[in-house]
Amino acid sequence: MYVLSEIRDTKNIYKYIAKDKADHIATTINNVLLRSAVMNALIQDHDGGTEFFDQMAEGVFNTVKNDADIELDYIAIAPDGIVSDVYPYDSNVDLLGYDYLDVTKPGNVHSRDAYDNGETVLMHYFDIKTNGIGLSATTPIFIDKGSETEFWGIIALNIDSENFVNAFRFEPFEEMGINYSLSYVDPHDTKHLIKESETKVKDEVSYVFNISNLNWELSISPDEGWYSYKNFIFVLMAFLAISALVSLFANMFIKIRETNEELWKISNIDKLTGCYNRRAYEEKLKDIESSDMCKNLVYIAVDINGLKKANDNLGHEAGDELIKGAATCLKNCFKEYGNVFRTGGDEFVSIVCCDEKTLEKCKDTLDRSVNKWKGELNISLSMSKGYAPHYEFPDLSITDLAKTADQRMYEDKRNFYIRTGQDRRGSR
């Protein structure tokens, strides 16, 4: 009973070790997947433009190297599935023209899966076109074209297998006499061995975890068996090793978390105004569509009056000042009740939850704030607004509320130009 108790306690420790290592593996791989998502967001924000690719790709390449200790084999973008740009260029020039959607080529079945699912897919081991065996984070890109969404192409971040495995740092396991086996199961239930120790695991403890579309399993066991006279010393060494590993990786995890938070801001926050951007706005609409709408939800559409006139007469710095001024007024008024999004050049949307009395108070606060605003280059600020409360239109979806708010905003804008006698075409 004593021996069984010792074995049970030791196995529990090994389960913790396996989970700790699995968390490190998942963090390392997700570090790569996140960069693919950021490049996706940038291409969407540039409406399919790729002029930033070389500079951005170099930054992604170096960041992954520094944060995850992974040297990417290459980064490629493929409009309509055909590779048009690749980084680094000189060592991967042969990849230009490669068709990621040709399912007859190695690994491309999973590129097609990425296209169909609209999600980043971790493509498992296949022959890289340029060099040996590797994995790839493949992300399809869809661009909004008015009321429709069109497939733009694919981003691929490739890693050669040796570099991939080395980043997981199994050397401490070998030094401590821990046998291990890392594998994953693909969507077709085929098991693939990634790496294992020279001595096979026996009577192992396993930890199963998911990364993207693949299910992973890490199995470990002590080289000397679960119980021996040396086991007490080994347990002590294991604890000491875990403490050392925690200290070793703590700074790396903190750095990765800070980097991920910064990347989230890049993907979701408008740089000029600090408001949420169009990407975050689209995600908010999806959340509302998939859940019960707040009964006091109000969709507010806002457009700046006279922005073109300010740009033409005073320069784009004056136009930016109006945009930032509008953002400040909107955030100060509505941030307590919801979010403010910059959805276009001078177009804003605020989605809030407040009752009718509070909404009227917010309207008055916003009007007074706009009337008091004064910039360094502009003496005043004017905005057209359209409010569409859910309690006024209980049968409308969020999409229809948006249309109603837009109609009311355009009516407000028309009245503004009639009232002021300005030429709408020249003033915007």
pLDDT in tens, 125-183: 554 444 445 677 888 888 887 778 888 888 888 887 777 777 788 888 888 889 999 98
Q: CA torsion angle for 397, 399, 404, 407 (degrees, to 10)?
A: -170
Specify the CATH class of 278-427 in words.
alpha beta
Alpha-carbon span 84 to 48, nearest angstrom: 13
Of 391 and 256, the structure prediction assigns the larger pLDDT to 391
- What pLDDT digit, counting tens, does each position of 191-230 carry? 888 889 998 988 899 999 888 778 889 999 998 887 765 5
Q: Where are the domains of the chain?
A: 22-165, 170-263, 278-427
Confidence class for position 423, pLDDT limits 50, 70, 90: low
Rounded distance between C-alpha atoms, residue 402 and residue 337, angstroms: 18
Neighbours of 30 (CB within 10 A): 18
300-338 pLDDT per residue, tens: 999 999 888 888 888 989 999 999 999 999 999 998 999
**pLDDT on residue 364:** 94
Cβ contacts of 334-338, under 8 Å, gap ≥ 24: 334/300, 334/362, 334/366, 337/362
Q: Locate tokens 């593996």: which residue?
A: 25
Q: How far is CA 394 from CA 49, 85, 267, 293, in A?
A: 40, 49, 33, 10
Give all strands of the β-sheet with 148-160 in edge-to-edge order. Answer: 85-87, 74-79, 148-160, 133-145, 121-127
CATH number attached to the domain at 22-165 = 3.30.450.20
| Contact in structure between 205 and 15 (CB atoms under 8 Å) | yes
pTM score:
0.50
- Kindly give, in sequence order, each residue whose CB lies less than 8 Å from that of residue 223, ignoring residues fewer than 6 positions away: 177, 178, 179, 199
Tokens of 405: 């708010």
Question: Fold match between 22-165 and 278-427?
Answer: no
Spatial neighbors of 257 by CB under 8 A, at least 6 apart, are none
The first and second tokens of residue 57, run together, are 């790709």
For helices 2-45 and 278-289, what crossing angle results, to 10°?
120
- The angle formed by the CA atoms of residues 51, 54 and 60, to the nearest 5 degrees, is 120
Tell me the H-state helices in 270-315. Answer: 278-289, 307-314
220 has which bridge partners?
180, 205
Who's near 346: CB < 8 A, 6+ residues apart? 303, 304, 307, 319, 322, 323, 326, 428
Residue closest to 384 by CA, chosen among 303, 314, 309: 303
The predicted structure's pLDDT at residue 128? 45
Q: Nearest Cα to 121, choosing from 129, 113, 132?
A: 113
CA 421 – CA 426 distance, rounded (Å):
12
**Model pLDDT, residue 131:** 46
